[in-house]
Structure 1
């Protein structure tokens, strides 16, 4: 099973400790609302699970890794990524969006 498939992530999250799993699920919900294109095209969620697992192995808690709020952490991860909102805006205006828009 490929690392980026939903089934693979479900299996990994099922074996992840409760608090950590809750944070990853919150991040996943946030990303699905924002719609970064790489979410479905790449390994973003699998890489986040890797990041958390490495942090736990190093003895760090979730709050130490990402802080108190999921949104700013997620925004920083995808700050240079195109979103489906960008694609929609481009279809309306006919102009490509940039990170500064």
Structure 2
């Protein structure tokens, strides 16, 4: 009986821990210098977002949005599309614009 249980344990697939690249918790975050925070304009919807007042940082945007009816903020990041030659081939890249 004990050998049957041991074989079942041996046949179970082993879980491999996910590797981290040292950037844990940064996925989805925008660089502070390129992100801009706007309150949602009254009457705006997720289907048709309209930007209202700009806040200086994320904390202020959250506070002001909480005080408003909607409680919605929009985070906008602007990029410039540029072409770089890599190995004789043009490659399009995006570069963040400063505020």
TM-score normalised by L of structure 2: 0.27
Going by fraction, where is strand more abundant, 1 or 2? 2
Going by fraction, where is helix more abundant, 1 or 2? 1
Q: Which has the larger radius of gyration?
A: 2
TM-score normalised by L of structure 1: 0.27
